[in-house]
Structure 1
Amino acid sequence: MKVELSDTGTVIFGSLRYFSAFGHHRYGTSWYKIDKGNVNELEECRELAAALLQELACSEPDESDRNDRVNAMLSRIENSIEKTSKYIQRSLRPGVSLWEQTGGQRFCAAEQSLIYGHPFHPTPKSSEGFSPDDLERYAPELGASFVLHYFAASPELVAECLPETTGEEMMPVKVLEAARQQLGSLRRHYRLMPCHPWQAQYLKNVAEVTELIEAGQLIDLGPLGNPVYPTSSIRTVWDPQHAYMFKLPLNVRITNFVRVNPTEQLKRTVDAGRVLARLRDEIPYSEFGVLLEAGYRTLTVPAGSEEQGGSLAESFGVIFRENPVRDSVNKKQLEGGDAPTVVAALLEQPPRANEAPVWEAVRMAAAAKRTMPDRAFLGKWLERYLEIALSPVLWLFLERGISVEAHVQNSMVTLQNGWPIRFWIRDLEGVSISRERALNDGLFGLPEDSPAFYPDEEAWNRLKYYFFVNHLGHLIHTLALYGEVDELALWQVVSEVLQTSGLFEGEERKPYLRDLLESEGLPAKANLASGFQNRGETPLYVEIPNPLIRCEVTV
């Protein structure tokens, strides 16, 4: 393969071991650069990254700024490679596959198994702020577990949106009991603030926090409760015994941006949760579930500057999410094959394995049905997956204007003997609701300025990227690679499901189907350019070839 970098005049040569119709290529190990007539072999990945970044930098008018951006991006790339190497070394230890585990064990193992991360991100495992010791303590890829740190805040400092009847029940019983003993009768009314232990130490070095502690308005309770397990997002933690997971802020740059919880994101999450809570029973797909966010709690400081208050709010804000491994009705932990598995974990081939877990699942499903995992069976497996995932995701948008951020790390699937039986969506902060469609539903009871509302076209484009590009593109490539079939043959299955689903009946819905089947391109996040320009929160997009346009239209 040859890549011509027109602005710098550099040409990169290399080879492909596997060509993917959707860009998930597998590359050879030897790369060469032609620069000013000289041919040089690239001996390390930094040289290749530098060549690409120098091309990007040509669009920056200021030379000093250009060099700073190149060096900053190279630093993050090296950070990611260094951490990935560490995770690979640990994963090579003897262990068991996902399918030899059940219930909560499988759920946790999957969440902590993402060694490589996003296949189209230049720094998928970078984290700036964690020391090597912090990494050992807190990285899910290293099998971390730890006890959360808690503060107790005077009620006038707390801003929250929680169910009226819940109160402090969002907190684990063991934590409540220990906190009551420390607070005594005079401060029993203080509100508990769960905090990641790294974040707690960071916050205790912030002057405003120190002042609140010295004034007795914020009480440092220290570590409380059972150990929790960080999930694939690093900052969302799971307590097997508690009904809620906590999405916590971390003032650490993970991939492109610092992972805190600004007030706008807290409100967007809760607004989306309110709408989906109302609609959850209306969704006509019993195999589809949404993990609701029950609410949020954060710290607010009336006095002082707006900037200071916003900084404290985003650094303390916690979102309470339903625990997918607990039966919320019977309040017990799910066992056996009932617990879901994050889809991203199914698509990565572990360093010590010969295939990705999803292909193991396909083989298990074929064996259970006494057939071979051939092309015909693979088509049926994918069709079943689309029935429980694609159809309800499209129904939510076409029927109610709700676009869910269903990328592979926000999606979970329950497999029974390898066969898909239930699909879940989580992390509602990324939900975008079509304002035009919401107006027809009385704005779903939300305020007109809710941050969950987006223009219809933007909500639709987000769905196309997160589900069709990020999710299906990765899934179909992985199935095709291990099943040794053409990716386009599996995209044909997607095309047929779209055309026969009945979801696009009615003239007002036909443009969406035509857009999927006839548009030359699909939107994809430009992660390299976005990272280079420090646009993590407002990413750039590029258009990539739409494989559906190459599929046969049957109706």
Structure 2
Amino acid sequence: MSHHDQQTAGIERRLAEQYLNTYCRETAHPDPRIDACAPADEALMPHCATWRQQGLMPFVVDLPGSATRLAGAFSHFSPVGYHRLASELWVQQSGHWRRMDDVADLSDLIAAALTAASPSPSGATHNQARLQALMRNSIAKVRRFHQAPAAHDRPDYVASEQGLRFGHVFHVTSKASDGFSEADLCAYAPELGASFQLHYFAVRSDLLDMQTIDHKAVPIDPAAMHFAEALLRDGEYRLLPSHPWQAQYLLGLDNVGMLVRDGALISLGPLGERVWPTSSVRTVWLPQQNLFFKLSLNIRITNFVRNNPDEHVARALDASIALGLLPAARVRQEHFRILQEIGSETLKVPDKELRAACAVIYRQAMTQEEAQDVHLAAALLEESALGDIPLRALLQQAAGDRAPDADLLRRWWRRYLDVSLLPMLELFADYGISLEAHLQNSLIGFKDGWPNCGYARDMEGTSISRQRFPFLARLDPASPALYDEAQAWHRFQYYVLVNHIGHVAACLARLGPCDEASLWRDAVQSLRGCKASALALVETLLQQATLPVKANMLSSFHQQGETPSWIAIPNPLKN
């Protein structure tokens, strides 16, 4: 089989695995494997026998509303649902089995099954058509991203940020987007190795709404300031950066056109250093300034239009204000750092949609020297179409001249917990600050292959427990960053423990030398070594039967992006 054919088959297998695992987890099919002694479909029996001879685990999934069944085999079974699909997927319709060669067929079957299971199937046809379109859009994007050769001339950290070609492993629309043309994808998609200059506007000072944590002006690219020196000299104008796609979108709006004609807004065009879009598409890294900019993009990516509404900006800045009230050593530890937001800018106009479309959030970043050894956690764990995973190379580096064995993996795993789970759990225990440190919000620095420093970013998802935060009087009582204790703790369990830590454990187990159960037992021992102030939370975790999981597929189907559905999975820490 040629390299192209191997990659094509690998893309289909990876997407089928992603969609199958998501469907099983969100529709109460945690273990679809079939017992060797159980009666099987006669036509399927030869396949099952072959799979078992190969050491694989056959499974069958029945889809509601029709006589449709899915079958295949796993080479790895995961207690958190990240099973590895070892072979092609088979589908039975009208009593006949056939191999599924196009994963788009699976997307249609899943959308139809969700409609059939809906309390009102006739009323869910719109949701079905919409989900089908989004899934097919996502499939097309994944295939498109794999057509491009590997990008060169970019820092290793950028290669990690831009290396997510499949996206969230429990999301059926992980790469869906609506708004970028093919030319836009080539210019701006991180998956295609994009880099570009930002578009700058000069904004009349009385029209600029700037908020900062330390009451100082937000940092502006020196090259952009030099270009606009004459406009800025007397303080009449200030600079506002924008994503170049968004700048063209804004310039096409009537109300922005009026501001331009009145001289309140001047379009300066592309200026400043070359920036690199990160995995979120709209957040960019400015290495010369040690900053991230979270820009607005009025395009839909997965379930959301990715601009910056006032509430999101307020939550991000309030979370950073709260972190600023803590001892500096808790925010910037030797082996764990929080990359806080430092300010925001937008237009001072009553139109909330225009404010959201113009807003930019300024965020701390690592230094260029630090970034040389930093990886995006999600990219570190993403299995490629050809079956490789970047994590393997780091483990080999940690092992040196010998092959990584179970002992090394378990020591590496405990070191990983030391720079991620433990400091974040202790932060919540002591201050009630629950970071939304899922895989795409988490960066890990390595030294000789070993986890050395964890970084948490994007404070917009932070939730602060009103009952636990000791400086509550210093925050606005109506702050969107404030949550009840149960809500903040619920979010911690999903974003940090399930989405992030659970997936690292599952990926390590896929590599072979040790299973997930051993890794979770090690996690229990690490948790019991936490500070005394966190031990009550640890015991709560160890006793509860389930952990919460955000149901991305069901939320997409029911169009509940801002108020997602939740399910529960068995807690691998229990017992």
Same fold, TM-score > 0.5, yes or no: yes
Query: What is the alpha-carbon distance in structure 1 between the residues aligned to residue 463 and residue 549 of structure 2?
Result: 17
Change (3 A) 1:335 1:257: closer
Tell me whether 1:286 sits opposite 2:334 in the alignment: yes
Query: What is the alpha-carbon distance in structure 1 between the residues aligned to residue 407 and residue 499 of structure 2?
Result: 25
SS in 1 for 2:148: helix
SS in 2 for 1:15: strand
1:399-439, Cα deviation, whole Å (9 max, x unpaired): 1111001111111111011011111111110110001112x
Shift of 1:313: 0.8
Shift of 1:241: 1.0
1:308-364, Cα deviation, whole Å (9 max, x unpaired): x1101110110000121x2xxxxxx42685x42211121123446x63222211111
8 Å Cα contact 1:149/1:194 also seen in 2: yes
Query: What is the alpha-carbon distance in structure 1 between the residues aligned to residue 151 and residue 459 of structure 2?
Result: 36
Q: Where does 1:448-463 land on structure 2 (aligned, <5 Å)?
A: 448-463=477-492
Structure 1 partner of 2:391: 358
Change (3 A) 1:31 1:203: same
Structure 1 partner of 2:102: 44
Match of 2:354 among 304, 307, 312: 312
TM-score of the superposed pair, with normalisation by structure 1: 0.88
Query: What is the alpha-carbon distance in structure 1 between the residues aligned to residue 151 and residue 215 of structure 2?
Result: 47
Match of 1:430 among 436, 461, 476: 461
Structure 2 partner of 1:306: none
1:211-242, Cα deviation, whole Å (9 max, x unpaired): 11111111111111121110111101112211
8 Å Cα contact 1:355/1:482 also seen in 2: no
Tell me whether 1:475 sits opposite 2:504 in the alignment: yes
Tell me whether 1:537 sits opposite 2:571 in the alignment: no
Tell me whether 1:25 sits opposite 2:83 in the alignment: yes
Change (3 A) 1:444 1:119: farther
Change (3 A) 1:163 1:61: closer
SS in 1 for 2:414: helix
Q: Where does 1:133-172 land on structure 2 (aligned, <5 Å)?
A: 133-163=183-213, 166-167=216-217, 170-172=219-221
1:223-278, Cα deviation, whole Å (9 max, x unpaired): 11121110111101112211322100101111111111000110100010111123
Q: Where does 1:4-403 land on structure 2 (aligned, <5 Å)?
A: 4-8=62-66, 10-35=68-93, 37=95, 39-58=97-116, 60=118, 65-91=123-149, 93=150, 105-163=155-213, 166-167=216-217, 170-181=219-230, 183=231, 188-279=235-326, 281-283=328-330, 285-302=333-350, 309-324=351-366, 326=367, 333-334=368-369, 339-351=373-385, 355-367=388-400, 372-403=403-434
Change (3 A) 1:165 1:544: closer
Query: What is the alpha-carbon distance in structure 2 between the residues aligned to residue 294 and residue 184 of structure 1?
Result: 22
Change (3 A) 1:365 1:65: same
Query: What is the alpha-carbon distance in structure 2 between the residues aligned to residue 444 and residue 411 of structure 1?
Result: 30
1:189-212, Cα deviation, whole Å (9 max, x unpaired): 212111001001111111111111
Change (3 A) 1:30 1:468: same
Q: Where in structure 2 are there 5+ consecutive unaligned residues? A: 1-58
Shift of 1:481: 1.3
Query: What is the alpha-carbon distance in structure 2 between the residues aligned to residue 532 and residue 16 of structure 1?
Result: 27
SS in 2 for 1:194: strand
Tell me whether 1:519 sits opposite 2:519 in the alignment: no
Q: Where in structure 1 are there 5+ consecutive unaligned residues? A: 97-103, 303-308, 327-332
Shift of 1:21: 2.3
8 Å Cα contact 2:60/2:72 also seen in 1: yes
TM-score of the superposed pair, with normalisation by structure 2: 0.85
Shift of 1:64: 6.4
Aligned-residue RMSD, C-alpha? 2.3
Structure 2 partner of 1:496: 525
1:517 maps to a residue whose letter is L
8 Å Cα contact 2:299/2:306 also seen in 1: yes
Query: What is the alpha-carbon distance in structure 1 between the residues aligned to residue 120 and residue 567 of structure 2?
Result: 24
Query: What is the alpha-carbon distance in structure 2 between the residues aligned to residue 336 and residue 431 of structure 1?
Result: 24
Structure 2 partner of 1:442: 471
Query: What is the alpha-carbon distance in structure 2 between the residues aligned to residue 235 and residue 75 of structure 1?
Result: 23
Query: What is the alpha-carbon distance in structure 2 between the residues aligned to residue 351 and residue 16 of structure 1?
Result: 17
8 Å Cα contact 2:421/2:501 also seen in 1: no
Query: What is the alpha-carbon distance in structure 2 between the residues aligned to residue 63 and residue 541 of structure 1?
Result: 21
After the TM superposition, which of the residue ranges 47-56 and 134-143 deviates more from structure 2? 47-56
Shift of 1:41: 4.5
Query: What is the alpha-carbon distance in structure 2 between the residues aligned to residue 300 and residue 64 of structure 1?
Result: 45
8 Å Cα contact 1:158/1:299 also seen in 2: yes
8 Å Cα contact 2:297/2:357 also seen in 1: yes
1:41-70, Cα deviation, whole Å (9 max, x unpaired): 444222222222122113556666522221
Shift of 1:161: 0.9
2:404 maps to a residue whose letter is P
Query: What is the alpha-carbon distance in structure 1 between the residues aligned to residue 448 and residue 251 of structure 2?
Result: 49
8 Å Cα contact 2:157/2:371 also seen in 1: no
Query: What is the alpha-carbon distance in structure 2 between the residues aligned to residue 50 and residue 454 of structure 1?
Result: 38
Change (3 A) 1:185 1:460: closer
The percentage of counterpart residues that share the same residue type is: 39
After the TM superposition, which of the residue ranges 194-203 and 49-58 deviates more from structure 2? 49-58
Change (3 A) 1:361 1:447: same
Shift of 1:443: 0.6
Query: What is the alpha-carbon distance in structure 1 between the residues aligned to residue 327 and residue 546 of structure 2?
Result: 32
